[in-house]
Structure 1
């Protein structure tokens, strides 16, 4: 029997991707039994508004730049090619049928887990896929209430948000150590997230 590649699915707006995302994914690869992590850029989270959302192609470019030099990371545009609105169950089903040699695990924050029952076909996600929950401030997880296919990662709490990054960039702050150098270079050169006028 061929061993399947254990692949974590880290989906989000990545508006923009920052060191919190990268450090978390790095930890999950090294400590949570994942062979690799795919960063899937979402066109628009059904629970969010498009305000201040950078063009999806540009967000994908920033992710590609940030993960290019680490072999366990991969940028994916799969949700940009599927019918919209984008629902996680559709993405996971598509990936499973397209890549039968991979064992997919959904990576989500404890904040999302707290309203997971509001997700489209959440029960089917739980039935069909493994879920790995990482910690977010003010959202605790009862590890003993989780089923065998759902586990809570003991990852460091990385309290950095894309909102903070965007606001700081708009104020002209130098955030060189909050972003991967390659994606920060693109942001600086193209004036992304800067105040207009």
Structure 2
């Protein structure tokens, strides 16, 4: 089975994340997309990052109607700070019959060469890249790499930061969130301070 790993803090998960995940699940040669919730790094200041399990719960709520999209807490169990290369090794050991790929925006592709052991990742895993408006001056060397697949996904410029700011200002964010995620945030009074 071919699994695309879509990493994020998902703080909160929004319709932009779902549009990208669904596009990859339906139009790239992937069987499933796993939304990997990245845990809070204990070495970093928490700021507005919700507890890991609240963010995971929101991903569960957002994806329950999408059979090809699954939430994953795999990184919660790994020592911190964690690197993508370690997560990939762990997943390959745990699921030897699966083939894991990464899903990332063009903006992340530009900095891929700075990732720990990025050559190892590229040697063993495909990377599916979706377009971003804010990605001038791409790293063209990597763009032409045989493991890099540029996917003509919709360009979605919605950010979790904007959503948190809108909630803080007391404005309506309902159209930007899956309905059950909006209800969960509203019920728990998240992001209001």
TM-score range, shorter chain: over 0.9
Distance 1:191 1:7 in 2: 34
SS in 2 for 1:113: helix
Distance 1:43 1:153 in 2: 27
For residue 120 of structure 1, the aligned residue among 109, 116, 120 is: 116
> Is 2:166 aligned against 1:173?
no
Deviation at 1:78, TM superposition (A): 0.5
Aligned to 1:152: 150
Question: Structure 1 length normalisation: TM-score?
Answer: 0.91
SS in 2 for 1:85: coil
Structure 1 residues not aligned, in runs of 5+: none
SS in 1 for 2:155: coil
Structure 2 residues not aligned, in runs of 5+: none
Aligned to 1:38: 34
Question: 5 Å matches for 1:1-197?
Answer: 5-44=1-40, 50-140=46-136, 141=138, 142=140, 145-195=143-193
Question: Structure 2 length normalisation: TM-score?
Answer: 0.93
CA RMSD of aligned residues (A): 1.9
Distance 1:143 1:26 in 2: 28
SS in 2 for 1:177: helix
Distance 1:39 1:155 in 2: 17
SS in 1 for 2:19: helix
Deviation at 1:138, TM superposition (A): 2.3
Distance 1:23 1:156 in 2: 8
